[in-house]
Amino acid sequence: MKKEIPISDKQMRESIQSLNQVIKEVYKHYSYSDGIIIPSAMDDISNPNLFTYSLFIHDDKIDFMDGAVIEPQLLSNAMTKRCGILDIEDGKRTLINEKKQISITYGFDMDELHLKDFNHNPGLNALSDFKNKIDKYDIRWDMDDDIKDLLLSYEATKVCIGENKGKDVNLVMTKKLFPAIKKANQISVYAKLHNEEEQTYKFATISAGNGWRFYSFHRLINIA
């Protein structure tokens, strides 16, 4: 089955390329369903200690990506080479530029196992919990350019992200904590008290880019 896709939409192409450049830092492959992006398997996460509870959300659902397991670099290559024909055969998804005789298979249809893993992904559960309880988070902090530049230089730094019950809440930050930092237009950190005696917090990071958002939820953080 072949059909044309709207690669003439420059904004869509650039959004997909920007998104995939970020995803490569977090997931080796990903499953895409209705604009939600998760690792296709737990062993596809580049750093499970950091990103087990994480997912991307694409603001506009992309039909030719929907219901597929995708190799991000190959999809980016197809967008760069302006492949505008989608060919689906035997579950494989291929993008074609007929004029230049270029054919790039970028993914395959999600099977029952992938669908099951998708529906029970811990990132989805964490996102639902976050949205339902966001008003219970004690702190919201937005990253400024000075901190962003410091982290991009691979410096670790302790940042006061707010105050709770008269006490400063400090978070030690590194670039690894924010894999979307180069492409994100805004990065925010939300934190809520987990154990008052030990001064530990649960926290979430949200990185917003060109048509996408990356959510990462962390069960526990020690305040230094």
Tens-of-pLDDT digits for all 224 residues of the chain? Answer: 677 776 667 777 888 888 888 999 999 999 999 999 999 988 899 999 899 999 999 888 888 899 999 999 999 999 889 888 999 999 999 999 999 999 999 999 999 888 888 889 999 999 999 999 998 898 999 999 999 999 999 888 999 999 888 888 888 899 999 999 999 999 999 999 888 888 788 999 999 998 899 999 997 776 65
Return all residues near 134 (Cβ < 8 A) that are at least 6 apart: 190
CB 143 within 8 A of CB 187: yes
Task: Give CA angle at 150 (127, 152), nearest 5°.
Answer: 65
Residue 90, C-beta contacts closer than 8 angstroms, at least 6 positions apart: none
DSSP 123-163: HHHHHHHHHHHGGG-SEEEE--HHHHHHHHTT--EEEEEEE
Q: Which domains does the chain show, CATH number per domain?
A: 2-120 (3.10.150), 133-222 (no CATH)
- Helix axis angle, 72-80 relative to 10-23, nearest 10°? 150
CB half-sphere exposure, 171, CA atoms < 13 A = 28
